Amino acid sequence: MTDTRPQNNSLLIVLSAPSGTGKTTICNRLREVRPDIKFSVSHTTRPPRQNEREGVDYHFINGERFEAMQKKGEFLESAWVHNHFYGTAHSTLKAHRDRGEDVILELDPQGAASIRKLKLDAVFIFILPPSLRELERRLRQRGTESEEKIIERLTAGKIEMGQYRLYDYIVANHSVEETVETLLCIFRAEKHRSSRFTTDCPVIGDILKSD
Amino acid sequence: MTDTRPQNNSLLIVLSAPSGTGKTTICNRLREVRPDIKFSVSHTTRPPRQNEREGVDYHFINGERFEAMQKKGEFLESAWVHNHFYGTAHSTLKAHRDRGEDVILELDPQGAASIRKLKLDAVFIFILPPSLRELERRLRQRGTESEEKIIERLTAGKIEMGQYRLYDYIVANHSVEETVETLLCIFRAEKHRSSRFTTDCPVIGDILKSD
């Protein structure tokens, strides 16, 4: 059977999660099961962490270059988080959209709020830890950060989580598999939103033409 | 792990599909795979078809009784379709809601529009045939109806389908399995809508309390 479903309803997904929520694991699993869904690669002035690759995890640039791009209006959104700049370049997003790909923007609530203001047809998803106690446990478990940093991240996390009303969907990460399944369901459901069906949709077009 | 997810976000789903779309098959499959999701049993003055059971498919009542209930305001919505009355009793819906069950109301666009006006927190889903040609083929395949009835249903179907903007989601029924999977995804996604998360939600409550 020819697939006559509309191809022009690609999704722009804004995904946020406070540190320690498990976002990295979730995103890695998403990449595995759905390589067709692309992660937008942001620009940042933060130095690469171990295992992070240029052009894959981030475009790592210096502060001077970042500010030059910002001045030229090359960013869809940009933010100052944990002492570094982060930004999504218009050109990055455009390349994905031109190929009809679904794109995920990983942003903090500050970035998500900027995208909201642009009134793009985006889907906003907030991943939360199951509880504050669990968040604290996960942050400590990493063992890579000082007590001061942990408390800083917990405080930032609580402030971030208070922004949950910014988002269309909230997913508490009880288990990675369950969370990934829920995310895939949200993506699938959103593809069927009537607001994304235009007269280009074969069935609807068919019906309208027949009048 | 204790499931700390909110239990108070049960869904009210309004499901519409023109005749010949395959709604009966889809609903039967849904009943099989998700017996926890309940179908609201409407009242109707239409005589039972073969295999239809009182209290399961419909509450079959006569016109006099229907009008008496209508006068007393016992219906959430009621409509005159294909020469018969159909209505959803407040009491039916309340019983499901009181038990915290997800409920599906199978309604035509006229009924769906009535529910929209009530501003209930309902999810509106429209199932469409893959094409008008396919719809016609399916209606003829049944072999139970006269040519006149088929043309009447096709015309009614086209008018109904023109109402697609009434709905939150549109699902073209390419295959029953795929459609049922999409419906289950929509239900799952809707459970995670931030508008359904109140401060009763453990994670959010937790965060708000911690301030």
Helices A202-209/B147-161 angle, 10° precision: 110
Residue B202 covered by a domain: no
Mean pLDDT of all residues in B30-41: 96
Pairwise pLDDT comparison (B210 vs B122), residue with the higher score: B122
Q: Give yes or no for residue B98 having a pLDDT over 50.
A: yes
Query: Which of A149-163, A189-203, B94-108 has the weakest average pLDDT?
Result: A189-203
For residue B164, the chain A residues in CB contact (below 8 A) are: 194, 197, 204
Distances (CA, A) of B54 to B16, B45, B61, B91: 22, 12, 9, 17
Q: What is the CATH number of the domain that holds B95?
A: 3.40.50.300
Q: How far apart are CA A119 and CA A198, in angstroms?
A: 18
The verdict on ipTM greater than 0.95 is no
Q: Which two tokens stand for residue B169?
A: 């989601």
Mean pLDDT of chain A: 88
Question: What does each C-alpha distance from A104 to A11, A14, A193 come to in angstroms?
Answer: 8, 6, 18
Q: How far apart are CA A82 and CA A46, in angstroms?
A: 9
Phi (first) and psi of residue B2, to 5 degrees:
-70, 135
Could you tell me which residue, A63 or B135, shows the higher pLDDT? A63
User: Is A22 inside any structural domain?
Assistant: yes
Domain hosting residue A172, numbered range? 12-195
In angstroms, the separation between the Cα of residue A19 and the nearest Cα of chain B is: 15
Confirm whether B201 is domain-assigned.
no
- What per-residue confidence (pLDDT) applies to A6? 42
A151 touches chain B (CB under 8 A): no
| B162 within a domain of the structure (yes/no) | yes
**A169 is a domain residue:** yes
Note whether residue A100 is domain-resident.
yes
Indicate the number of domains in chain B. 1
A210 band by pLDDT with thresholds 50, 70 and 90 = low
A187, part of any domain: yes
Residue type at position B157? G
Across chain B, what does the average pLDDT equal? 88
pTM, two decimals, is 0.87
Q: What is the mean pLDDT of residues A96-112?
A: 92
Residues of chain A found within 8 Å of residue B161, distances taken between Cβ atoms: 203-204, 207
| Tokens 């499931």 belong to residue | B3
In Å, how far is B53's CA from the nearest CA of chain A?
33
A207 at interface of B, judged by CB pairs closer than 8 A: yes
**Using one digit for the tens of pLDDT, what is the confidence trace for B177-209?**
999 999 999 999 999 998 876 555 666 777 666
Residue B176 domain flag: yes
pLDDT at B65 over 70: yes
What residues of chain B lie within 8 A of the CB of A167, using their CB?
194
CB-based contacts of B25: which residues, under 8 Å, 6+ apart? B176
What does the pLDDT read at residue A145? 78
What tokens does B174 get? Answer: 């390419």
